[in-house]
Amino acid sequence: MERILEVQNIEKYYGTKSNLSKAIDNISFNVNKGEFVGIMGASGSGKTTLLNCISTIDKVTSGHIVVNQEDITKLKGNKLNKFRREELGFIFQDFNLLDTLTCYENIALALTIQKVNAREIERKVEKIAENLEIKEILKKYPYQVSGGQKQRVAICRAIITNPKLVLADEPTGSLDSKSARQLLENFEYLNQKLQATILMVTHDAFTASYTNRILFIKDGKIFNELIKGNDTRKQFFEKIIEVQTLLGGDLNDCF
Amino acid sequence: MIVFKLSIKNMAKSIKDYSIYFLTLVLGVAIFYMFNSLDSQQAMLEVSKSTHEMINLLISMLGFVSVFVSVVLGLLIVYANNFLINRRKKEFGIYMTLGMGKRQISKIILLETILVGLISLLARNYNWYICITIYVYISCKTF
Protein backbone atom coordinates (compact mmCIF):
# COMPACT_ATOMS: atom_id res chain seq x y z
CA MET A 1 0.00 0.00 0.00
CA GLU A 2 1.14 3.46 -0.82
CA ARG A 3 2.29 5.41 2.17
CA ILE A 4 0.92 8.94 2.12
CA LEU A 5 2.07 10.30 5.43
CA GLU A 6 5.04 9.32 7.52
CA VAL A 7 5.61 11.00 10.84
CA GLN A 8 9.06 10.23 12.22
CA ASN A 9 9.92 11.00 15.84
CA ILE A 10 8.56 14.49 15.85
CA GLU A 11 8.82 16.75 18.86
CA LYS A 12 7.40 20.17 19.47
CA TYR A 13 8.42 22.35 22.37
CA TYR A 14 6.91 25.58 23.46
CA GLY A 15 8.31 28.21 25.76
CA THR A 16 11.84 29.14 26.79
CA LYS A 17 14.64 26.97 28.13
CA SER A 18 13.73 27.56 31.73
CA ASN A 19 10.04 27.00 31.18
CA LEU A 20 9.77 24.28 28.59
CA SER A 21 6.56 22.48 27.77
CA LYS A 22 6.47 19.54 25.44
CA ALA A 23 3.37 19.68 23.28
CA ILE A 24 4.46 16.68 21.23
CA ASP A 25 6.92 14.22 22.65
CA ASN A 26 8.39 11.79 20.16
CA ILE A 27 5.43 10.75 18.05
CA SER A 28 5.78 8.42 15.07
CA PHE A 29 3.10 6.91 12.88
CA ASN A 30 2.20 6.21 9.28
CA VAL A 31 -0.90 6.73 7.22
CA ASN A 32 -1.55 4.74 4.08
CA LYS A 33 -3.46 5.82 1.03
CA GLY A 34 -7.22 5.62 1.47
CA GLU A 35 -7.20 5.48 5.23
CA PHE A 36 -9.51 7.46 7.47
CA VAL A 37 -7.54 8.11 10.63
CA GLY A 38 -8.79 9.78 13.76
CA ILE A 39 -6.68 11.41 16.42
CA MET A 40 -8.22 11.58 19.86
CA GLY A 41 -7.11 13.01 23.14
CA ALA A 42 -8.13 15.37 25.91
CA SER A 43 -7.74 19.08 25.49
CA GLY A 44 -4.12 20.04 25.89
CA SER A 45 -2.86 16.63 24.86
CA GLY A 46 -1.23 18.03 21.75
CA LYS A 47 -3.56 16.74 19.07
CA THR A 48 -4.14 20.07 17.39
CA THR A 49 -0.43 20.87 17.59
CA LEU A 50 0.24 17.60 15.83
CA LEU A 51 -2.20 18.49 13.09
CA ASN A 52 -0.76 21.97 12.76
CA CYS A 53 2.70 20.49 12.32
CA ILE A 54 1.50 18.13 9.62
CA SER A 55 -0.37 20.92 7.87
CA THR A 56 2.78 23.11 7.81
CA ILE A 57 1.00 25.82 9.80
CA ASP A 58 3.43 25.13 12.64
CA LYS A 59 7.05 23.96 12.57
CA VAL A 60 8.34 20.93 14.45
CA THR A 61 11.25 21.27 16.87
CA SER A 62 12.79 18.00 15.69
CA GLY A 63 11.88 14.99 13.59
CA HIS A 64 10.56 14.63 10.07
CA ILE A 65 7.18 14.58 8.40
CA VAL A 66 7.15 12.96 4.99
CA VAL A 67 4.14 13.44 2.76
CA ASN A 68 4.22 11.65 -0.56
CA GLN A 69 7.98 11.07 -0.35
CA GLU A 70 8.71 14.70 0.39
CA ASP A 71 10.03 15.98 3.69
CA ILE A 72 7.72 18.87 4.45
CA THR A 73 9.65 20.07 7.48
CA LYS A 74 12.25 21.42 5.07
CA LEU A 75 9.91 23.15 2.64
CA LYS A 76 10.03 26.92 2.31
CA GLY A 77 8.50 29.78 0.36
CA ASN A 78 7.06 28.90 -3.01
CA LYS A 79 7.56 25.18 -2.58
CA LEU A 80 5.56 25.33 0.61
CA ASN A 81 2.77 27.21 -1.14
CA LYS A 82 2.79 24.67 -3.92
CA PHE A 83 2.62 21.85 -1.40
CA ARG A 84 -0.34 23.43 0.40
CA ARG A 85 -2.03 24.15 -2.88
CA GLU A 86 -1.69 20.73 -4.41
CA GLU A 87 -1.26 18.14 -1.71
CA LEU A 88 -3.30 19.35 1.23
CA GLY A 89 -6.93 20.05 1.97
CA PHE A 90 -7.97 21.81 5.15
CA ILE A 91 -11.22 21.60 7.07
CA PHE A 92 -11.56 23.68 10.20
CA GLN A 93 -13.89 23.75 13.14
CA ASP A 94 -15.12 27.25 12.32
CA PHE A 95 -15.39 26.67 8.55
CA ASN A 96 -13.10 29.55 7.55
CA LEU A 97 -15.06 30.44 4.44
CA LEU A 98 -14.68 33.86 2.89
CA ASP A 99 -17.81 35.92 3.51
CA THR A 100 -17.07 38.15 0.56
CA LEU A 101 -17.48 35.30 -1.89
CA THR A 102 -20.45 33.08 -2.70
CA CYS A 103 -20.26 29.40 -1.88
CA TYR A 104 -19.48 28.66 -5.50
CA GLU A 105 -16.63 31.13 -5.55
CA ASN A 106 -15.34 29.84 -2.25
CA ILE A 107 -15.03 26.36 -3.69
CA ALA A 108 -13.68 27.66 -6.97
CA LEU A 109 -11.02 29.74 -5.24
CA ALA A 110 -8.96 26.66 -4.44
CA LEU A 111 -8.82 25.89 -8.15
CA THR A 112 -8.36 29.43 -9.43
CA ILE A 113 -5.25 29.70 -7.32
CA GLN A 114 -3.98 26.71 -9.26
CA LYS A 115 -4.85 28.55 -12.47
CA VAL A 116 -7.32 25.96 -13.73
CA ASN A 117 -9.48 27.33 -16.55
CA ALA A 118 -12.97 28.55 -15.81
CA ARG A 119 -14.91 25.91 -17.70
CA GLU A 120 -13.03 23.11 -15.98
CA ILE A 121 -13.68 24.73 -12.61
CA GLU A 122 -17.39 24.96 -13.27
CA ARG A 123 -17.57 21.33 -14.24
CA LYS A 124 -15.69 20.19 -11.17
CA VAL A 125 -17.62 22.37 -8.73
CA GLU A 126 -20.97 21.23 -10.12
CA LYS A 127 -19.98 17.61 -9.80
CA ILE A 128 -18.68 17.81 -6.27
CA ALA A 129 -21.59 19.99 -5.13
CA GLU A 130 -24.01 17.42 -6.42
CA ASN A 131 -22.25 14.66 -4.51
CA LEU A 132 -22.43 16.59 -1.28
CA GLU A 133 -25.96 17.87 -1.91
CA ILE A 134 -25.22 21.56 -1.79
CA LYS A 135 -26.00 22.40 -5.38
CA GLU A 136 -28.91 24.66 -4.48
CA ILE A 137 -26.87 26.88 -2.19
CA LEU A 138 -23.96 27.51 -4.53
CA LYS A 139 -25.18 30.99 -5.38
CA LYS A 140 -25.71 32.00 -1.77
CA TYR A 141 -23.21 33.63 0.53
CA PRO A 142 -21.78 31.70 3.50
CA TYR A 143 -23.70 33.85 6.01
CA GLN A 144 -26.97 32.88 4.32
CA VAL A 145 -26.63 29.13 4.84
CA SER A 146 -26.63 26.84 7.88
CA GLY A 147 -23.58 25.57 9.76
CA GLY A 148 -23.81 22.07 8.31
CA GLN A 149 -24.04 23.45 4.80
CA LYS A 150 -21.11 25.77 5.44
CA GLN A 151 -19.01 22.86 6.58
CA ARG A 152 -19.98 20.91 3.47
CA VAL A 153 -18.89 23.85 1.34
CA ALA A 154 -15.62 23.83 3.26
CA ILE A 155 -15.24 20.12 2.52
CA CYS A 156 -15.85 20.77 -1.17
CA ARG A 157 -13.17 23.42 -1.13
CA ALA A 158 -10.77 21.09 0.63
CA ILE A 159 -11.17 18.14 -1.70
CA ILE A 160 -11.80 19.77 -5.07
CA THR A 161 -8.09 19.95 -5.79
CA ASN A 162 -7.80 16.21 -5.26
CA PRO A 163 -5.32 16.52 -2.41
CA LYS A 164 -3.17 13.64 -1.22
CA LEU A 165 -4.19 14.29 2.34
CA VAL A 166 -7.24 15.96 3.88
CA LEU A 167 -6.72 17.38 7.35
CA ALA A 168 -9.74 18.08 9.50
CA ASP A 169 -9.55 19.80 12.87
CA GLU A 170 -12.70 19.02 14.86
CA PRO A 171 -14.94 19.33 11.81
CA THR A 172 -18.08 18.55 13.79
CA GLY A 173 -17.13 20.78 16.69
CA SER A 174 -19.56 23.56 15.89
CA LEU A 175 -22.39 21.49 14.45
CA ASP A 176 -25.52 20.02 15.99
CA SER A 177 -25.76 16.24 16.16
CA LYS A 178 -27.89 15.88 13.02
CA SER A 179 -25.60 17.97 10.82
CA ALA A 180 -22.62 16.27 12.40
CA ARG A 181 -23.96 12.85 11.43
CA GLN A 182 -24.65 14.02 7.91
CA LEU A 183 -21.18 15.48 7.66
CA LEU A 184 -19.56 12.30 8.88
CA GLU A 185 -21.49 10.37 6.28
CA ASN A 186 -20.01 12.75 3.73
CA PHE A 187 -16.58 11.96 5.10
CA GLU A 188 -17.29 8.27 4.75
CA TYR A 189 -18.37 8.86 1.19
CA LEU A 190 -15.16 10.74 0.40
CA ASN A 191 -13.10 8.05 1.97
CA GLN A 192 -14.82 5.07 0.38
CA LYS A 193 -15.90 6.37 -3.01
CA LEU A 194 -13.23 8.94 -3.80
CA GLN A 195 -10.39 7.20 -1.95
CA ALA A 196 -9.51 10.35 -0.07
CA THR A 197 -7.02 9.98 2.74
CA ILE A 198 -8.36 11.80 5.76
CA LEU A 199 -6.73 12.69 9.04
CA MET A 200 -9.25 13.97 11.56
CA VAL A 201 -8.69 15.40 15.00
CA THR A 202 -11.59 15.08 17.40
CA HIS A 203 -12.37 14.62 21.05
CA ASP A 204 -15.81 13.20 20.43
CA ALA A 205 -16.13 9.42 20.57
CA PHE A 206 -19.12 9.34 18.25
CA THR A 207 -17.32 11.32 15.56
CA ALA A 208 -14.28 9.11 15.96
CA SER A 209 -16.34 5.95 15.48
CA TYR A 210 -16.68 6.76 11.78
CA THR A 211 -12.94 6.37 11.19
CA ASN A 212 -11.00 3.20 10.35
CA ARG A 213 -8.24 3.73 12.87
CA ILE A 214 -7.80 5.92 15.90
CA LEU A 215 -4.66 7.16 17.58
CA PHE A 216 -5.06 8.21 21.18
CA ILE A 217 -2.73 10.91 22.35
CA LYS A 218 -1.96 11.69 25.96
CA ASP A 219 0.54 14.28 27.13
CA GLY A 220 2.11 14.50 23.70
CA LYS A 221 2.66 10.76 23.31
CA ILE A 222 0.75 8.07 21.49
CA PHE A 223 -1.07 6.23 24.22
CA ASN A 224 -3.00 3.64 22.28
CA GLU A 225 -4.13 2.69 18.83
CA LEU A 226 -7.49 1.24 17.84
CA ILE A 227 -8.25 -0.36 14.51
CA LYS A 228 -11.83 -0.78 13.43
CA GLY A 229 -11.23 -3.88 11.32
CA ASN A 230 -14.48 -5.75 10.83
CA ASP A 231 -16.30 -4.31 13.81
CA THR A 232 -19.57 -2.52 13.32
CA ARG A 233 -19.59 1.11 14.19
CA LYS A 234 -21.38 0.45 17.44
CA GLN A 235 -18.78 -2.06 18.60
CA PHE A 236 -16.04 0.30 17.59
CA PHE A 237 -17.72 3.11 19.49
CA GLU A 238 -17.84 0.97 22.64
CA LYS A 239 -14.16 0.17 22.29
CA ILE A 240 -13.37 3.83 21.96
CA ILE A 241 -15.27 4.61 25.12
CA GLU A 242 -13.34 1.87 26.89
CA VAL A 243 -10.00 3.35 25.89
CA GLN A 244 -11.19 6.77 26.88
CA THR A 245 -12.04 5.49 30.33
CA LEU A 246 -8.53 4.09 30.53
CA LEU A 247 -7.14 7.46 29.49
CA GLY A 248 -8.97 8.79 32.50
CA GLY A 249 -11.20 11.71 33.14
CA ASP A 250 -12.04 12.32 29.52
CA LEU A 251 -15.38 10.62 29.55
CA ASN A 252 -16.96 13.69 31.04
CA ASP A 253 -15.79 15.72 28.08
CA CYS A 254 -17.92 13.75 25.64
CA PHE A 255 -21.27 13.76 27.32
CA MET B 1 -8.17 37.93 -12.89
CA ILE B 2 -9.16 36.29 -9.63
CA VAL B 3 -7.00 38.80 -7.85
CA PHE B 4 -8.86 41.68 -9.45
CA LYS B 5 -12.24 40.17 -8.67
CA LEU B 6 -11.30 39.50 -5.07
CA SER B 7 -10.03 43.03 -4.62
CA ILE B 8 -13.20 44.61 -5.93
CA LYS B 9 -15.43 42.31 -3.94
CA ASN B 10 -13.42 42.72 -0.79
CA MET B 11 -13.59 46.45 -1.13
CA ALA B 12 -17.31 46.50 -1.72
CA LYS B 13 -17.94 44.20 1.24
CA SER B 14 -15.62 45.84 3.70
CA ILE B 15 -16.72 49.32 2.78
CA LYS B 16 -17.39 50.00 6.46
CA ASP B 17 -13.83 49.19 7.40
CA TYR B 18 -12.58 51.05 4.43
CA SER B 19 -14.65 54.13 5.20
CA ILE B 20 -12.34 54.79 8.16
CA TYR B 21 -9.33 54.48 5.96
CA PHE B 22 -11.09 56.43 3.30
CA LEU B 23 -11.97 59.30 5.60
CA THR B 24 -8.41 59.46 6.88
CA LEU B 25 -7.08 59.67 3.38
CA VAL B 26 -9.64 62.19 2.19
CA LEU B 27 -9.16 64.50 5.14
CA GLY B 28 -5.40 64.08 5.08
CA VAL B 29 -5.00 64.84 1.44
CA ALA B 30 -7.44 67.75 1.64
CA ILE B 31 -5.58 69.36 4.55
CA PHE B 32 -2.27 68.84 2.86
CA TYR B 33 -3.43 70.54 -0.32
CA MET B 34 -4.94 73.35 1.68
CA PHE B 35 -1.63 74.10 3.32
CA ASN B 36 0.36 74.00 0.15
CA SER B 37 -1.79 75.83 -2.32
CA LEU B 38 -2.64 78.92 -0.34
CA ASP B 39 -0.46 81.23 -2.43
CA SER B 40 -1.93 80.20 -5.75
CA GLN B 41 -5.49 81.08 -4.85
CA GLN B 42 -7.38 83.67 -6.80
CA ALA B 43 -8.49 85.46 -3.67
CA MET B 44 -4.86 85.81 -2.55
CA LEU B 45 -3.79 87.59 -5.72
CA GLU B 46 -6.31 90.34 -5.23
CA VAL B 47 -5.39 91.51 -1.72
CA SER B 48 -3.54 94.77 -1.00
CA LYS B 49 0.27 94.98 -0.91
CA SER B 50 0.74 95.11 2.87
CA THR B 51 -1.54 92.15 3.35
CA HIS B 52 0.35 90.40 0.59
CA GLU B 53 3.64 90.68 2.49
CA MET B 54 2.07 89.29 5.59
CA ILE B 55 0.62 86.45 3.64
CA ASN B 56 4.02 85.73 2.11
CA LEU B 57 5.45 85.44 5.61
CA LEU B 58 2.59 83.18 6.54
CA ILE B 59 3.26 80.97 3.54
CA SER B 60 6.95 80.59 4.32
CA MET B 61 5.98 79.59 7.83
CA LEU B 62 3.44 77.20 6.49
CA GLY B 63 6.24 75.55 4.53
CA PHE B 64 7.70 74.29 7.81
CA VAL B 65 4.32 73.35 9.13
CA SER B 66 3.56 71.32 6.02
CA VAL B 67 6.64 69.15 6.68
CA PHE B 68 5.26 68.45 10.10
CA VAL B 69 1.82 67.81 8.68
CA SER B 70 3.20 65.36 6.12
CA VAL B 71 4.99 63.40 8.87
CA VAL B 72 1.82 63.21 10.95
CA LEU B 73 -0.14 62.28 7.87
CA GLY B 74 2.34 59.54 7.00
CA LEU B 75 2.03 58.05 10.48
CA LEU B 76 -1.73 58.27 10.33
CA ILE B 77 -1.87 56.43 7.04
CA VAL B 78 0.49 53.73 8.29
CA TYR B 79 -1.65 53.32 11.39
CA ALA B 80 -4.88 53.14 9.40
CA ASN B 81 -3.29 50.58 7.11
CA ASN B 82 -2.14 48.40 9.99
CA PHE B 83 -5.57 48.60 11.53
CA LEU B 84 -7.13 47.34 8.34
CA ILE B 85 -4.63 44.55 7.82
CA ASN B 86 -5.06 43.40 11.41
CA ARG B 87 -8.80 43.14 10.95
CA ARG B 88 -8.27 40.88 8.00
CA LYS B 89 -5.58 38.62 9.39
CA LYS B 90 -7.87 35.63 9.26
CA GLU B 91 -8.78 36.19 5.64
CA PHE B 92 -5.14 36.23 4.64
CA GLY B 93 -4.65 33.08 6.68
CA ILE B 94 -7.31 31.35 4.60
CA TYR B 95 -5.63 32.47 1.41
CA MET B 96 -2.37 31.02 2.66
CA THR B 97 -3.84 27.68 3.67
CA LEU B 98 -5.29 27.45 0.17
CA GLY B 99 -1.78 27.88 -1.11
CA MET B 100 -1.69 31.49 -2.21
CA GLY B 101 1.79 32.92 -2.09
CA LYS B 102 2.80 36.09 -0.29
CA ARG B 103 3.21 37.78 -3.61
CA GLN B 104 -0.35 37.06 -4.68
CA ILE B 105 -1.73 38.30 -1.37
CA SER B 106 0.33 41.46 -1.67
CA LYS B 107 -1.13 41.94 -5.12
CA ILE B 108 -4.64 41.83 -3.72
CA ILE B 109 -3.81 44.35 -1.01
CA LEU B 110 -1.97 46.59 -3.46
CA LEU B 111 -4.85 46.60 -5.88
CA GLU B 112 -7.35 47.37 -3.15
CA THR B 113 -5.20 50.21 -1.88
CA ILE B 114 -4.87 51.66 -5.36
CA LEU B 115 -8.62 51.52 -5.85
CA VAL B 116 -9.28 53.25 -2.55
CA GLY B 117 -6.59 55.78 -3.33
CA LEU B 118 -8.17 56.60 -6.66
CA ILE B 119 -11.61 57.07 -5.17
CA SER B 120 -10.29 59.25 -2.37
CA LEU B 121 -8.41 61.31 -4.93
CA LEU B 122 -11.67 61.96 -6.74
CA ALA B 123 -13.49 62.76 -3.52
CA ARG B 124 -10.68 65.04 -2.50
CA ASN B 125 -11.28 67.28 -5.50
CA TYR B 126 -14.76 68.12 -4.27
CA ASN B 127 -13.89 68.25 -0.64
CA TRP B 128 -10.84 70.33 -1.21
CA TYR B 129 -12.77 72.87 -3.17
CA ILE B 130 -15.19 73.41 -0.29
CA CYS B 131 -12.47 73.48 2.35
CA ILE B 132 -10.19 75.84 0.49
CA THR B 133 -12.99 78.32 -0.08
CA ILE B 134 -13.73 78.48 3.63
CA TYR B 135 -10.05 78.59 4.50
CA VAL B 136 -9.22 81.41 2.12
CA TYR B 137 -12.25 83.33 3.20
CA ILE B 138 -11.19 83.11 6.85
CA SER B 139 -7.56 84.04 6.23
CA CYS B 140 -8.54 87.01 4.10
CA LYS B 141 -10.92 88.25 6.77
CA THR B 142 -8.32 88.07 9.52
CA PHE B 143 -5.94 90.48 7.83
Contact present, A45 and A218 (Cβ < 8 Å): yes
Q: Is residue A87 part of a domain?
A: yes
- Let me know: does A213 contact A191? Beta carbons within 8 Å: no
Average pLDDT, chain A: 87
A94-98: long-range contacts (C-beta < 8 A, 24 or more apart)? A94/A174, A95/A142, A95/A147, A95/A150, A95/A151, A95/A153, A95/A154, A95/A174, A96/A154, A96/B90, A96/B93, A96/B94, A96/B97, A97/A142, A97/A150, A97/A153, A97/A154, A97/A157, A97/B94, A98/A142, A98/B91, A98/B94
Distance to chain B for A48, nearest Cα, Å = 16
**pLDDT grade for B31, boundaries at 50, 70 and 90:** confident
> ipTM above 0.85?
no
Residue A235 has pLDDT above 80, yes or no: yes
Residue A86 pLDDT greater than 80, yes or no: yes
Chain A's closest residue to B11, CA to CA, is A100
**What mean pLDDT do residues A56-80 have?**
88
**Residue A145 pLDDT:** 92
Instruction: Find the domain containing A186 and state its range.
Output: 3-93+164-230
**B96 neighbourhood in chain A, CB within 8 Å:** 81, 84
Q: What is the mean pLDDT of residues A132-145?
A: 91
Question: Between B26 and A194, where is the model more confident?
Answer: A194
The Cα of B4 is separated from the nearest Cα of chain A by a number of Å equal to 12
- Please indicate, yes or no, if residue A122 is contained in any of the structural domains: no
Chain B residues lying within 8 Å of A57, measured CB to CB: 97
Global confidence as pTM: 0.77
Task: Give the pLDDT score at B45.
Answer: 66
Give the Cα-Cα-Cα angle A92, A72, A15 (nearest 5 degrees): 70
- Of A81, A109, A110, Cβ closest to residue B101: A81
Q: Which residues contact A68 (CB under 8 A, 6 or more apart)?
A: A4, A87, A164
Interface test with A, best of B4, B89, B98 (most A CBs within 10 A): B98
Is residue A25 in a domain?
A: yes
Q: Which residues in chain A are contacts of B93 at CB distance < 8 A?
A: 96
Asked whether the predicted pLDDT for residue B41 surpasses 70, the reply is: no
Look at residue A112 and tell me if it is in a domain. no
What is the rounded CA–CA span in Å between residue A81 and residue B42?
Answer: 58
What is the secondary structure of chain B as a DSSP string?
-HHHHHHHHHHHHTHHHHHHHHHHHHHHHHHHHHHHSGGG-HHHHTS-HHHHHHHHHHHHHHHHHHHHHHHHHHHHHHHHHHHHHHHTHHHHHHHHHTT--HHHHHHHHHHHHHHHHHHHHHHHHHHHHHHHHHHHHHHHHH-
Mean pLDDT, to the nearest integer, of A132-155? 90
Query: What one-character DSSP code corresponds to residue A72?
Result: G
Tell me, what's the pLDDT at B138? 77
Sheet holding A198-202, edge to edge: A88-91, A165-169, A198-202, A36-40, A213-218, A221-227
Please give the residue that has the higher pLDDT: either A44 or A122.
A122
The per-residue b/e assignment along A153-184, b for 16 or more CB within 10 angstroms, e otherwise, is: bbbbbbbbbebbbbbbbbbbbbbeeebbbbbb
The number of folded domains in chain B is: 1
Number of domains in chain A: 1
Q: pLDDT grade, residue A140 (50/70/90)?
A: very high
Option in B10, B12, B99 nearest A84 (CB): B99
Predicted confidence (pLDDT) per residue in B90-112, tens digit: 888 888 888 888 888 888 888 88
Domain extent at residue B52: 2-142
The domain that contains A220 carries what CATH number?
Answer: 3.40.50.300
Nearest to B134 by CA among B45, B62, B41, B63: B41
Distance, in Å, from the CA atom of B5 to the CA atom of A115, rounded to the nearest integer, reads 14
Higher pLDDT, B143 or A187: A187
Enumerate the residues of chain B whose CB falls inside 8 A of the CB of residue A55: 97
Which among B113, B114, B95, B97 is positioned nearest to B105, based on CA atoms? Answer: B95
Nearest-CA distance A216 → chain B (Å)? 26
The confidence score (pLDDT) of residue B1 equals: 60
